[in-house]
Structure 1
Amino acid sequence: MNRLLNTVRPYAWGSTTAIPALLGTEPTGEPQAELWMGAHPGAPSRLDCGAGPEALDALIDADPAAELGDATVKRFGPRLPFLLKVLAAGAPLSVQVHPDLAQARAGFADEEARGVPLDAPHRNYKDANHKPEMLVALSPFEGLCGFRRPTEAAALIDALGVDALVPYADILRAHPEDGALREVLAAVLGADPAEMAGTVHAAAEAAARLAATPGTPYAADYAAYAGAARHFPGDRGLVAAMLLNHVRLQPGEALYLGAGVPHAYLDGLGVEIMANSDNVLRCGLTPKHIDVPELLRIVRFEADDPAVLRPEAGPDGEELYAAPIDEFRLSRYVLAPGSGPRTLDRDAPQILLCTAGQVRLRTPDATPSGAAGPGTELLLGPGESCWIRAGEHTELGGEGTVFRATVAA
């Protein structure tokens, strides 16, 4: 086991205070959006195996079987198949979707064949992998996830009283099947942005007014949309966002976001895990490129209530956040005072992240030296994490909360 040294990504939507509060550091005044833990080449974690800090991706490249285990290499290749993050949203992220594996492979191959540079702003596929993801709230957390039922979206839009939006509500009300969602989203994103700006401003003002009116249905939803509009004034993506479910998570609750599900994070602190990919297609609330035809091909137009996940109790105090994906498995331990040690044996790589209290990791015959290596003990506080190579015997104790990221069995 080895302590990880991780990078904070300063994206503009990040909170200026949430990650510093977790880490116990002073805010810099700049946004701190994501703390990355893993071997993604964009910001790999570093660890010291005795010869100074070394990037985790380089360590894996040097001996994939030793770090990942033969079974993981056979299933996913010589790379860590997941990326773990602490995500701190202080402003809305763009409304977005991710492709499935077949779509990602085909899209990546097509853009490579056409010679589209990887860093081109209009490129959709940065790699040939899918990007299912899960977020577990550490604080009250707000987001948008999946489509509302068309009739519900029509009622929400109608109440705004904006004449230019009436045709969209009419489509949703007259055709209450999922095809209406496609028709309205295509119309909104296909409209001229300059011509839509006035309509969006009127919708944002109406949403703010309704959010402040006692007894208004969907008041919390209108507040969320009005808040997003303050960050993206005039963005036609606001109307697209109104087609989506507004979700509020309490600490410990989670969302799983599969391929084609439109979503956006709005506010809050959470632990996020995903397959190791950068493939994002955007729907709105963004100054970045929106490829409308490709987006409409990828989006799953299926209306449903968002499935809020809660952890399932397992053996030895482990609580599992179940997800239908092989690349990652996320669980947590909430360690009470005086509880016995938990054994974390697993023939797969693991990253442990402490989010509260102080936890202790030890290998057999450990001594409390605080250094990494065989026969040692490692203490983790909030925001600190460690790498456990495949097959390494480790025991977990102390008092606090720990998230455990690995691959599915």
Structure 2
Amino acid sequence: MRLATTIRPYDWGSVTALPELFGTEPTGRPQAELWMGAHPGAPSTVAGIPLNDLITRDPAATLGERSTARFGPALPYLLKVLAIERPLSLQVHPTTEQAGAGFADENARGIPLDDPTRTYKDTSHKPEMVCAITPFRGLCGFRDPAATADLLDRLRLPDLRSWTGTLRSAEPRTALRTVFAQMLDDASGPLRDQVEHALIGTGDDELAPYAGIARACPGDPGIVAALLLHHVDLFPGQALYLGAGVPHAYLDGIGVEIMANSDNVLRCGLTTKHVDVPELMRVVDFTPAGPHLIHPGHDTAGEHHYRPPAPEFALIRYDLTGEAAHTLPGGVPRIVLCLDGETRLGEGLTLRPGRSAFVPAAAAPVRVSGKGTAYCAEPGAFTL
């Protein structure tokens, strides 16, 4: 089923990246996220019918027995292409339990789902994975607090000694919770201004990513809090996984992103959207941890399987050479995206760059061929 899809024009997106990638005309506005899936916020359509409506009409045919039994009558994942020109918000995602409690609480308080101050849009967690198409940079997870203290020392600001002292002396999670909260507190505004000024003036290569954030988001409290997080560089083909509670922010690049079918985001900075620091502080995991990179398995020549520890989704990258074909077995719902070149599904459907198709569970096994690069989204491992 050929999909018609939506591009979200968020202000952090690039005006030119997706048009250049897909060979389309720029609109003059940022084109940030191409959405492919059945999320009610921007569902893809088949011949004008929203995909979520097609799934509701016949979940057995569209999703299959295994997916429906495990995840209910809804597509369990959402596929996107991101084109990032300036930093996204500093954010975390909740667990399923936290999302359910937060959703019920906001409903009880009468906050409409489309209210911009609403935090919980659904009852799902939102693990996600991004696979780099171009060099891709982001922030992910808390650095060891003593290492962050060493980094802050390089700014040569005496007023930071209270934070660096806490980072070096307190139990790591307590230290990070304390300093993170203070960095976001309005009372720290003058000190944040000092840090922002020092970052912009530094020539230190290790501080350069944070200096870029300071230039892009002047006056934002997230600039200082970002210094607590690892900086991550992904090369094309590398993937990063983010579980519940892990603070992160993408900085620039183009990537294919797949996630659980949710829009639950708690933000604390680097954004003009709703910020909910108290709720974020309740949800964030303050355990220091390095970035969780996902290394693709090469099960078959030309296939690269990304299997993150999330049951809702997995991703396959096909490097199509014009010769060998690949087979998609039946039984589970899939979305196939042509990233570049040409992708053929069976004998009857050809996808050009930026175009996608839904392969319902009831479909017979489908041959994937062509010449270029394609991505296939599917549910992850089933535990029935």
TM-score, L = length of structure 1 = 0.89
**What secondary structure sits across from 2:305 in the alignment?**
strand
1:23 alignment counterpart: 22
Conserved? CA contact 2:13–2:31, under 8 Å: yes
Query: In the alignment, which residue of structure 1 is the partner of 2:321?
Result: 336
Inter-partner Cα distance in structure 1 for 2:141 and 2:70:
30
* Cα offsets for 1:316-373 (capped at 9, x unmatched): 64311121111111111112242x21111131110001112212111xxx4xxxxxxx
Deviation at 1:290, TM superposition (A): 2.9
SS in 1 for 2:83: strand
SS at match of 1:181: helix
Q: 1:207 aligns with which of 180, 199, 216?
A: 199
Structure of greater Rg? 1
The amino acid of 2:356's aligned partner reads S
CA contact (8 A) 1:316 1:342 kept: no
Deviations 1:33-91 (A, max 9, x none): 0000011111111123xxxx322112112211111112212221111111100011111
- Give the C-alpha shift of residue 176 in structure 1: 5.7
Secondary structure of residue in 2 paired with 1:313: coil
- Give the letter for the 2:259 counterpart: M
Q: Distance in 2 between matches of 1:29 and 1:201?
A: 33
- 1:40 equivalent in structure 2: 39
Cα distance in structure 2, aligned partners of 1:208 and 1:176: 31
| Aligned position for 2:262 | 277
- Cα separation, 2, equivalents of 1:73 and 1:305: 34
2:331 alignment counterpart? 347
SS in 2 for 1:106: helix
The yes-or-no answer on 1:85 pairing with 2:80 is yes
The one-letter code matched in structure 2 to 1:239 is V
| 1:264 counterpart residue number | 249
**Please, which moves more after superposition, 280-289 or 5-14?**
280-289
1:241-265 deviations in whole A, cap 9, x for unaligned?
0000011100000100000000001
- 1:386 Cα deviation (Å)? 0.8
The residue number in structure 2 matching 1:382 is 353
For residue 312 of structure 1, give the secondary structure of its aligned residue in structure 2.
coil
Shift, 1:315, TM fit = 3.6
Distance 1:230 1:208 in 2: 7
Select between 142-151 and 171-180 the one with higher mean Cα deviation: 171-180
Amino acid in the other structure paired with 1:259: A
Shift of 1:390: 0.4
Give me the whole-angstrom Cα distance separating, in 1, the residues matched to 2:370 and 2:99. 42
Q: Does 1:400 align with 2:372?
A: yes
Match of 2:172? 177
Please list every run of 5 or more consecutive structure 1 residues that lacks an aligned counterpart in the other structure: 367-376
Choose the corresponding residue for 1:233, options 218, 226, 248.
218
How far apart are residue 18 of structure 1 and its match? 0.9
Give the Cα–Cα distance (whole angstroms) in 2 for the partners of residues 23 and 46 of structure 1. 19
Mapped contact 2:183–2:192 kept (Cα < 8 A): no
Whole-Å separation in 2 of the counterparts to 1:43 and 1:332 = 24
> Is the CA contact (8 Å cut-off) linking 2:196 and 2:224 kept in structure 1?
no
For 1:36 and 1:141, how far apart are their aligned partners in 2? 19
Correspondence for 2:100 among 95, 101, 105: 105
Percent identity over the alignment? 54
CA shift, 1:118, in A, is 2.2
Are the counterparts in 1 of residues 200 and 214 from structure 2 also a CA contact under 8 Å?
A: no
- SS of alignment partner, residue 87 of structure 1: strand
Q: Is the 8 A contact 2:136 2:252 kept in 1?
A: yes
Contact 1:204 1:225 in 2 (8 A): no
For residues 181-216 of structure 1, what are the alpha-carbon distances to aligned partners after superposition, in whole Å with 9 as ceiling and x for unaligned? 011011122333xx61x4333322322332x3xxx4
Write out the 4+ residue segments of structure 1 that deviate beyond 4 Å after TM superposition: none
Partner of 1:123: helix, strand, or coil? coil
**Partner of residue 302, structure 1:** 287
- The one-letter code sitting in structure 1 at the alignment partner of 2:45 is R
* Partner residue in 2 for 1:361: 345
- CA distance in 2 between counterparts of 1:60 and 1:201 reads 51
2: CA distance, partners of 1:18 / 1:292:
32
CA distance in 2: counterparts of 1:352 and 1:62, whole angstroms:
22
| Kept in 1: contact 2:294–2:308 (CA 8 A) | no
Give the superposition deviation at 1:10. 0.2
In the alignment, the residues of structure 1 paired with residue 142 and residue 27 of structure 2 have an alpha-carbon distance, to the nearest angstrom, of: 37
Distance 1:128 1:270 in 2: 26
Q: Given the two structures, how large is their TM-score scaled by the length of structure 2?
A: 0.95
**Amino acid in the other structure paired with 2:275:** I
Cα separation, 1, equivalents of 2:303 and 2:379:
15
Structure 2 equivalent of residue 67 of structure 1? 62
Amino acid at match of 1:133: E
Is the 8 Å Cα contact of residues 345 and 391 (structure 1) preserved in structure 2? no
Change (3 A) 1:135 1:265: same
